Structure 1
Amino acid sequence: MGCGSNASHTPIFLLVGLWRGGTPNYLLFPLFLIAYVAAVSGNLMLVLLISRDSQLGTPMYYLLRGLSVVDAAQATVTLPQLLVHLVCSQPIIPAAHCLAQFFFFYLFAVTDTLVVAVMALDHYVAICDPLHYSTLMNCHVCDCLMASCLILSLFHSILHSGLLLPLQWSGESGGAVQIPHFFCDHWTLVRASCSDIQYNVLAIFLEGSLFVAGPCGLILFSYAHIAATIFSLHSAAGHRKAVSTCSSHLTMVSFLYGTVIWVYFQPPSHNSPEQDMAAAVIYTAITPLANPFVYSFRNKNVKDALHRLLSSSQLNTQLD
């Protein structure tokens, strides 16, 4: 496919993902508003609880606090703009804003997958080598791991953003370029371009695969050893405690890695835009929303910390 005379490096994009038939906007708006508010408030509540409660001062919760910050940021990159576009007749976005959204979404989304892998490593050390846990996993080590995740994600985002800059897009009769999505996602931008996209596709499958295969390998390694350790335990209470420690994390791994692999690591023509958008809703809205609820409702320590915080607030109110 060649680019015509009206092709541009900086077009206006028209996001038509949720606007061509289907569910009416007046029903979508409150659903996504509730999802965004719940995701941000839930993750910030986790950050508050972990920061204030000394009993949540272990590396596991230190990493969970970082994950909550990343999830809140990831939801903020996409959902507020989606809410604005749901009440607009023409959901357009300039190229500079589109590429900025792509950059920051990738930055936080990849950081999310890396932090989840680091949390698997934390579980592995806690269950398989508890005597050395305080030495191998402490706040300083967690800071280094979190910084490494952010630096790797930054490199990843810069690379793919840089590969998008030379591309051109051609609108219909000089108009906006239609993007069959509700935000500036990677495959949709690449598919809509009239330029040669072979380097973009290679980068997605080669370099991008490393950012999924590496963390997946670490998760599989960790849980293989965790499973072997659990099966070697003779205490039923030990079994329950180990499984309880890992169940919330495994739920998040399934949500996150399942949708990422579904969308990004299949041939460009394999998925329909509707399938891509359904998966995108999961990793832009459902996953950030699920994180605080999974760790709140399935984690006794977090529930106890929330109870202590509410009790303290009620006591302060009565004293005032």
Structure 2
Amino acid sequence: MEAVNISSSFTLLGFSNIPCNQLALFALLLVIYLLTWISNLLLLTSITLSPDLDSPMYFFLGNLSLVDICFSTVTVPQLLHGLCYGRLRISFLCCFLQMYFLVSLGVTENFLLAVMAFDRYLAICNPLRYTSIMNRRVCSILVVASWFTAALHSFLHTFIISKLAYCEDKLIQHFFCDVTALIKIACSSTTLPEMLLYTEASSAIIIPLLFIMTSYSLIAQAIVKLKTAESRRKAFVSCSSHLIVVSLFYGTVIFIYFRPPSSYSANYDRMISLGYTVITPMLNPFIYSLRNHEVKDTLKKLIQRRQLSLPRRGYV
């Protein structure tokens, strides 16, 4: 047993012990990473520049795109490096910094998804008071509170786990410094970190999820009461993209962090973790863009405006 210090390091196993085509996986993940950046930046640019998207829903969506860009950037470049060179050495400081940002960004996404559900609830169930309640000041407070609260959660979590003593080889069977993987290789008592993990998970994951489920149960009741089929269709379409994103994100996160320790499988966890760290950040902007006519129309206008602004070459 050895206590970690600022000069200590860990070894990230990555996918080096899993039989797969490392080059093909590298190429696939590189394409996904580039698509994540391009699609989220396009969505952010559209929301920032277009007056048609100046509404609370798109303000929250822009913050979600920013979280997705940061979330994938914290993990994917390191994963690509590991696929090229095998096992990757990572310092104590970098490992726990990575954990801090991952937990913080993950919890921020939880809160933002809950805030977006509340926004849809107000828009559908209380449309007459929507603009007065969900004004710019309230939206800013909700977003700042989401980022700040998540940062506090992450700091507490990272601080306690960094105080553990780890076995001499310090081999992390994951492609990033995951909470459960670090607890698994600790040689000192992990009672407090495990209690913190489940407490933090219940407050930062389950409570927002219950809030989302409650909001959508009230939304469903309101949609059923709408008089025309067209009104019900429009209300459902305005919520469907958010529901798909919620299902993708919470499906993988709950599978990873809410199950008995006896069912822990390092190889399986690494594959499932690709879902919420790599796949979901890429899919989110496509889900919102492809199912939203306002976003698609704005993107078309921006592309057309860009084409018109390009200088045309003449012929001599």
CA separation in 1, counterparts of 2:49 and 2:273?
Answer: 33
CA separation in 2, counterparts of 1:319 and 1:127?
Answer: 47
Matching residue of 1:278: 271
1:54-88 alpha-carbon deviations (Å, 9 max, x no partner): 00001000100011001101111010111111111
Moved over 4 A (4+): none
Q: CA deviation at 1:319?
A: 6.5
Out of 87, 94, 100, the position equivalent to 1:103 is 100
Matching residue of 2:287: 294
CA separation in 2, counterparts of 1:163 and 1:98?
Answer: 14
Does residue 13 of structure 1 match 2:6?
A: no
Does residue 234 of structure 1 match 2:227?
A: yes
CA separation in 2, counterparts of 1:207 and 1:130?
Answer: 34
Instruction: Give the SS at the match of 1:23.
Output: coil
Matches within 5 A, 1:53-64: 53-64=50-61
Matches within 5 A, 1:69-148: 69-148=66-145
1:176-224 alpha-carbon deviations (Å, 9 max, x no partner): x211111111100011111100000001112321111220121011101
Does residue 210 of structure 1 match 2:203?
A: yes
Corresponding residue pairs, total: 311
- Given that 1:124 and 1:222 are in contact with CA atoms closer than 8 Å, whether structure 2 keeps it comes out as yes
Identical-residue share of aligned pairs (%): 38
| TM, length-normalised to structure 2 | 0.95
CA separation in 2, counterparts of 1:36 and 1:73?
Answer: 11
Q: CA deviation at 1:294?
A: 0.3
Between 1:7-16 and 1:66-75, the stretch displaced more is 7-16
Distance 1:22 1:65, change over 3 A: same
Matching residue of 2:25: 28
Out of 224, 238, 242, the position equivalent to 2:217 is 224
Amino acid at match of 1:57: D
Instruction: Give the SS at the match of 1:306.
Output: helix
Q: CA RMSD in A?
A: 1.3
- Given that 1:169 and 1:194 are in contact with CA atoms closer than 8 Å, whether structure 2 keeps it comes out as yes
1:139-198 alpha-carbon deviations (Å, 9 max, x no partner): 2111100001011101110111111121111224xxxx2111111111000111111000
- Given that 1:191 and 1:268 are in contact with CA atoms closer than 8 Å, whether structure 2 keeps it comes out as no
CA separation in 2, counterparts of 1:144 and 1:51?
Answer: 19
Matching residue of 1:264: 257
Between 1:137-146 and 1:84-93, the stretch displaced more is 84-93
Out of 160, 163, 167, the position equivalent to 2:160 is 163
Q: CA deviation at 1:273?
A: 1.2
Where does the alignment leave 5 or more consecutive residues of structure 2 unmatched?
A: none
